[in-house]
Amino acid sequence: MSYVDEVIAKVIEQNPAEPEFHQAVTEVLESLRPVIEANEEAYKKDALLERIVNPERQFKFRVPWVDDKGQVQVNTGYRVQFNSAIGPYKGGLRFHPSVNLGIIKFLGFEQIFKNSLTGLPIGGGKGGSDFDPKGKSDREVMAFCQSFMTELCKYIGADTDVPAGDIGVGGREIGYMFGQYKRIRGLYEGVLTGKGLTFGGSLVRTEATGYGLLYITEELFKDHGETLEGKTAVVSGAGNVAIYAIQKAHQLGAKVVTCSDSTGWIYDPEGIDVELLKEVKEVKRARLTEYAAARPSAEYHEGRGVWQIPCDVALPCATQNELHLDDAKQLVANGCKAVCEGANMPTTIDATKYLQENGVWFIGGKASNAGGVATSALEMSQNSERLSWTFEEVDKKLKDIMVNIYHNIDDAAKRYGCEGDYVVGANIAGFEKVAEAMTAQGIC
């Protein structure tokens, strides 16, 4: 059995009932085969792959809080500090009822390679809770966030581990958690990113993941002699990533005709009205039925279905495993040219293979959604120097980072004879830097 197969088998055996973690590890290690096989004996002797698939440490903790009726509720909190070879642990916090250790480990594992691809000094980590912010009052969300941070604050710090947002965690939650950290630790430091602009946040961080996704998509089209001007795009999700992906796609001349949430989806042939979507999702925290009610050109459908709408570009921006083989077949049949992931692991492995085999340009989330964490790292830099940069400065740095990522992953794929396979390219380029740093730092 090859070293790669041995490690994949061990991960599946040693981490039972964590299918998303198995999927993320399998996808990365399968594509590292040529790199590992070129140096198999040395990597195996150093157990490099066993070390990279095992978190440096992980925390699981009780989060008790009191709801508006006076009832005590108990949720579970997690933080997985996966790999600190190239910098302090960095990665978001997800609050969603589906959160469990396996989900946090898959996200933390992906984060190692994503963060490496940004070219900035950040290691990989992730955390969260099975708490569901949906339908909770502001006071309940604050009570939960304060309790969550009361425990988490023991393990994080501006130079050790810097969390941020993810699904269910936006500016409001980061604000409550920052306040509680400061209160308990007595430190005013950049321990979280995605902060409000009045207390150390960076301009562009809110927009960064969606904007970054479009910057890399634009570079991909440019490299193939095309532009996004006049293209039709379908987007899933209606949260932070989706909203700013739609906004930037429109600025670049494309028309986005769909978005979705966990109950239904919108088809709006006139193009999604971003201001209305922001009002419905960011201000009212309401369902997409409200968007449809306010927009005569929009159709609302229950369930899932955005991938059936003909498009040139598909941008999955909601959650993991939301684009399946059947959806991939539909996209190919409709002439879709490119799929770039805004979410983490939204495309199943068989759907990814089908898209690639049928000539669709496919960029995986590690590369294409790295703009969010990259801008978080820029927020850390600004906090360290106690200065704030202008919108234009941060936006330019973000764009440069995304253009660089595109060329790095494209070059890595070419170096290993897999031209056009941006999944292989991203995994290899991300891995090389981490592996070199781990090797240089000895067995740890």
Q: Please list the active-site residues.
A: 126
Q: Which residues of 384-396 are buried (b: 16+ CB within 10 A; e: fewer)?
A: eeeeebeeeebbe
* Choices 83-91, 164-172, 215-223, 399-407 (CB under 6 A): range interacting with ligand NDP: 164-172
Contact between 240 and ligand NDP per CB under 6 A: yes
Count of residues of this chain found to bind ligand NDP when the rule CB under 6 A is applied: 22
Number of H helices, E strands in the chain: 17, 13
Q: Give the DSSP H/E element, type plus range, for residue 126.
A: strand 123-129
Report the C-alpha gap between 425 and 363 in whole angstroms: 10
Which residues sit opposite 66 in a β-bridge? 72
Contact between 343 and ligand NDP per CB under 6 A: yes
Shortest spacing between CB 167 and ligand 2IT, in angstroms = 8
**DSSP at 282:** I
- CA angle at 251 for the pair 246 and 254, rounded to the nearest 5°: 65
Report the C-alpha gap between 145 and 128 in whole angstroms: 11
Shortest spacing between CB 166 and ligand 2IT, in angstroms = 4
Structure tokens at 197: 């602009």
* Residue whose CB is less far from ligand 2IT, 102 or 372: 372
* Residue whose CB is less far from ligand NDP, 76 or 262: 262
User: What's the chain's Rg over C-alpha atoms?
Assistant: 21
Contact between 167 and ligand NDP per CB under 6 A: yes
Among 219, 261, 327, 379, contact with ligand NDP (rule: CB under 6 A): 261
Shortest spacing between CB 49 and ligand 2IT, in angstroms = 23
Contact between 239 and ligand NDP per CB under 6 A: yes
Which of ligand NDP, ligand 2IT, none does residue 128 bind (CB under 5 to 8 Å by kind)? none
* Residue whose CB is less far from ligand 2IT, 93 or 438: 93
User: CB atoms < 10 A from the CB of 110, how many?
Assistant: 29
**DSSP at 170:** -
Amino acid at 417: G
* Residue whose CB is less far from ligand NDP, 119 or 237: 237
Q: Give the DSSP H/E element, type plus range, for residue 72.
A: strand 72-83
Structure tokens at 120: 């900035």
* Choices 78-86, 172-180, 255-263, 293-301 (CB under 6 A): range interacting with ligand NDP: 255-263
Shortest spacing between CB 343 and ligand NDP, in angstroms = 3
Which of ligand 2IT, ligand NDP, none does residue 430 bind (CB under 5 to 8 Å by kind)? none
Asked if residue 325 lies in contact with residue 354, where contact means CB atoms within 8 angstroms, the answer is yes
Contact between 241 and ligand NDP per CB under 6 A: yes
Contact between 209 and ligand NDP per CB under 6 A: yes
Among 166, 218, 219, 327, contact with ligand NDP (rule: CB under 6 A): 166
Contact between 206 and ligand NDP per CB under 6 A: no
Among 77, 87, 163, 168, contact with ligand NDP (rule: CB under 6 A): 168
Shortest spacing between CB 156 and ligand 2IT, in angstroms = 12
Do you know the residue count of the chain? Answer: 444
Shortest spacing between CB 228 and ligand 2IT, in angstroms = 23
Report the C-alpha gap between 436 and 413 in whole angstroms: 18
**DSSP at 323:** B
Shortest spacing between CB 229 and ligand 2IT, in angstroms = 29
Residue 43 phi, psi (nearest 5): -60, -40
* Residue whose CB is less far from ligand 2IT, 3 or 109: 109
Please report, as ranges, the residues that interact with ligand 2IT according to CB under 6 A. Answer: 90-92, 114, 164, 166, 193, 344, 372-373, 376
Structure tokens at 17: 């009932």
Residue 256 phi, psi (nearest 5): -95, 125
Question: Rule CB under 6 A: which residues touch ligand NDP?
Answer: 165-168, 209, 237-242, 261-263, 317-319, 342-344, 369, 372
